[in-house]
Structure 1
Amino acid sequence: MTLFHRKGYDGVGVAEIGEALGIRPPSFYAAFGSKAGLFRRALALYARGEANVFATALAEGGDVVTVIARMFRVAAGIYAVPGCAAGCLVLDGTRNSVDAEARAITTEAKAASRAAIRDFIAGEYPDRADELAEFATIVLAGMSASARDGDDGAMLARFADKAARAFAREATQSG
């Protein structure tokens, strides 16, 4: 997971993965089937941790505006931690990848995340859930890309606050 996060899917070879895991290619393929099979498992593990910024924000409860604002702040706090891989593995792990299977895996994970956010928003704003979920997920993608480009946590935190205010305005405006 760490290798994929730091280097992106295409930047990591099977030999490097095998070395990190302490196994040879035959054992690697027996265990995971393929590099994409391991990547799918790595993303599942990643999504069960604090990197799932929506689940982390939702766990504390609150209304839609509160939870989404918290989600932006959580993302700002983890996307640019010094000494760690920047950004989000799901959002940026296959950016510009030539591997269609790997891109499909992240596309599936992004769709599931957007659906979870959309379903939560629909509880309070059913008529605007799709557009508000789109807003929220695009903000997260931009924050992840910004962190990958080297922007620091302070900048992301300032942006998260502005994005939260913009989301609140969008959510509470009529039609």
Structure 2
Amino acid sequence: MIDTKKKKPRGRPPKLDRDHAIRIAMHLFWQRGYDSVGIAELSDAMGIKPPSLYAAFGSKLGLLQKAVEAYETDDGRFVLEVATAANTLPQLVLDVLVEAAKAYTSDRHRRGCLVLDGGRNSNDQEAKSFLLLRRKAACDMLTVELARLGAIDPKKLADYILIAMTGLSGSARDGVGCEALTNAAKDFAKAVELD
């Protein structure tokens, strides 16, 4: 008789690759949103057991925080790069919005923005609060850069840009293509009164 039961390997479980685990979580939260991804699914995708996930990140929220940090230094870094490189107000507004349209549609599996849409309709108040803080940090950064370029009301303009980006992100998640979003981004930029 052949034993068909899998035997568990002896010894310690494989060591967790934190960076790889964070990338996996980032992709899952980005694709489906924070509430739609459970601890069991995250653990399984990482090849670990839930207690190991808790030991490494403290909680699902702790993992979201690390995932957002990774997103902001990788896929979402374009906002800071474009804003700080701009030499004029019209250039900043146009370039940030057009780059957002491109970034939000560059991968068919991860559309939109993790920060702007990862907690949409979430029932978890801590996750929503955390993502709102990240959005505020982006708004603050844009406000500083817009002020540098002489905006009359930099906070109001930063809010406008983020509202437009939120619309672009949601539309990308709904399947709107890059060309349509880029055209909308250009129209949003044209509508801004800079004097």
Q: Normalising to structure 1: TM-score of the pair?
A: 0.92
Give the number of the structure whose alpha-carbon radius of gyration is greater.
2
Partner of 1:8: 33
Alpha-carbon separation, structure 1, partners of 2:61 and 2:75: 23
1:20-99 superposed matches below 5 A: 20-58=45-83, 60-99=85-124
Alpha-carbon separation, structure 2, partners of 1:94 and 1:60: 29
| Shift in Å, 1:72 | 0.8
Structure 2 counterpart of 1:100, one-letter code: Q
| Shift in Å, 1:59 | 5.1
Aligned residue for 1:10, secondary structure, equals coil
**Which of 129, 151, 154 is the matching residue for 2:179?**
154
1:128-167 superposed matches below 5 A: 128-167=153-192
Alpha-carbon separation, structure 2, partners of 1:99 and 1:18: 20
Percent identity, aligned pairs only?
A: 35
Structure 2 counterpart of 1:65, one-letter code: P
Partner of 2:133: 108
Aligned positions, number: 170
Q: Is the 8 A contact 2:112 2:170 kept in 1?
A: yes
Alpha-carbon separation, structure 1, partners of 2:100 and 2:152: 26
Q: Is the 8 A contact 1:5 1:88 kept in 2?
A: yes
Q: Is the 8 A contact 2:80 2:141 kept in 1?
A: no
- Segments of structure 2 that go 5 or more residues without pairing to the other structure are 1-25
Root-mean-square deviation over aligned CA pairs: 1.4
Q: 1:99 to 1:29 in 2, by over 3 A?
A: same
Matched, 1:17 2:42: yes
- Segments of structure 1 that go 5 or more residues without pairing to the other structure are none
Deviates more, 1:135-144 or 1:125-134: 125-134
Bigger helix share: 1
Deviates more, 1:58-67 or 1:116-125: 58-67
